Structure 1
Amino acid sequence: MNKIYILLGTNLGDRFHQLEQARALLASQVGIITQASSIYQTAAWGVEDQPAFLNQVVLINSKFQAAECLELTQGIEKQLGRIRKKKWGERVIDIDLLYFNDDIINIPNLRIPHPFIAERRFTLEPLAEIAPEYVHPVYKKNNVYLLDNCRDELPVKKISNDEPY
């Protein structure tokens, strides 16, 4: 089984419902969700003139390889109504593969670990919550260290710790 850390994000529509639907589709199409972080509200990153995001990290055990997971997660984004208009723009759902086992993958359309993990507090807060000691395979530092040294100053607020996993 492959262990995959995935970041979910949404800033359009019923954001809690979007996250719930994304988790359900991930569980039915990609693999078993074994952990889920609290839900965090975060200011938009990159393009800041848009609604705040809800973000959550989940850990999935999957039989699929990384490229297959990317294809499946992009399919889920489409199922939930994601339309790619502009980079870092508002969206119904965003599903990013953060880590895939301890692999380092650099192929067209897929880089793992996700290249912006260390630069984004909205990723590191929920990631450090469920995988504090996981060591980034490139930086050789754990997620808590990366969070403590993150220069991103955009606010990230835990709004829910209700998770059924």
Structure 2
Amino acid sequence: MKSRERVFLGLGSNVGDRVKNILSALEELSRLGKLIKVSTVYESEPWGVEDQPPFLNCVVELKSPLPPKKLLAEVKSIEKKLGRIERTRWGPREIDIDILLQDNLVYESEELKLPHPLIEYRDFVLIPLLELDTNLINPKSGKAYKDSLPKIENRLKPFCCIRV
């Protein structure tokens, strides 16, 4: 069985105290394993539903032995604990935590797809992800994620840095 310990998670917030929401999520995620790195926190325009406040986004590398289904359950529990209210898809969020990659695992269920299928299309995911590891490969396609950079528009504004 392949190792599932190296996990990349995308975090986003555009409701309430966005910085506090991101910091609280990091604190909760550290209970699921060891936080290895956190990307720069960027401010980004909404994606999908544009009539909403800007987001703060970052990507986190976590070392965790949890299998995908259990990790997803834990992430959803953290979102709920931190006050996330379910609204429209791609709408405003107190906190959003997406599992982007789990080592080289290709996994598909109704609730979760790994690798996350939209990594290459979202500047607020791809740029901070590559900031943590420029050599990441999409385990499904075999293509380097950095090859997608020229295809996206970078609309990110660096906001702050968090050290772990």
- TM-score range (shorter-chain normalised) is over 0.9
Note the 1:1-165 alignment, pairs <5 A: 2-28=5-31, 30-150=32-152, 153=153, 155-160=155-160, 162-165=161-164
CA deviation string 1:38-97 (max 9, x = no partner): 000000000000000000100000021111000000000000011111100001000000
CA deviation string 1:79-136 (max 9, x = no partner): 0011111100001000000001100001120100001111111111101111111111
Letter in 1 for 2:11: L
Q: Distance in 2 between matches of 1:148 and 1:154?
A: 9
Structure 2: unaligned runs, 5 residues or longer: none
Q: Distance in 2 between matches of 1:145 and 1:154?
A: 14
Determine helix, strand or coil for the equivalent of 2:30: helix
Letter in 2 for 1:157: K
- Contact 1:128–1:144 (Cα < 8 Å) also in 2: yes
Q: Distance in 2 between matches of 1:69 and 1:147?
A: 28
- Contact 1:42–1:154 (Cα < 8 Å) also in 2: no
Determine helix, strand or coil for the equivalent of 1:50: coil
Percent sequence identity over matched residues?
35
Aligned length: 161
Determine helix, strand or coil for the equivalent of 1:59: strand
What TM-score results when the alignment is normalised by the length of structure 1?
0.93
Offset, 1:139: 2.6
Q: Distance in 2 between matches of 1:79 and 1:115?
A: 26
Q: Distance in 2 between matches of 1:164 and 1:126?
A: 14
Q: Distance in 1 between matches of 2:141 and 2:156?
A: 23
Determine helix, strand or coil for the equivalent of 1:18: helix
Structure 1: unaligned runs, 5 residues or longer: none
Offset, 1:32: 0.8
What TM-score results when the alignment is normalised by the length of structure 2?
0.94
Determine helix, strand or coil for the equivalent of 1:145: helix
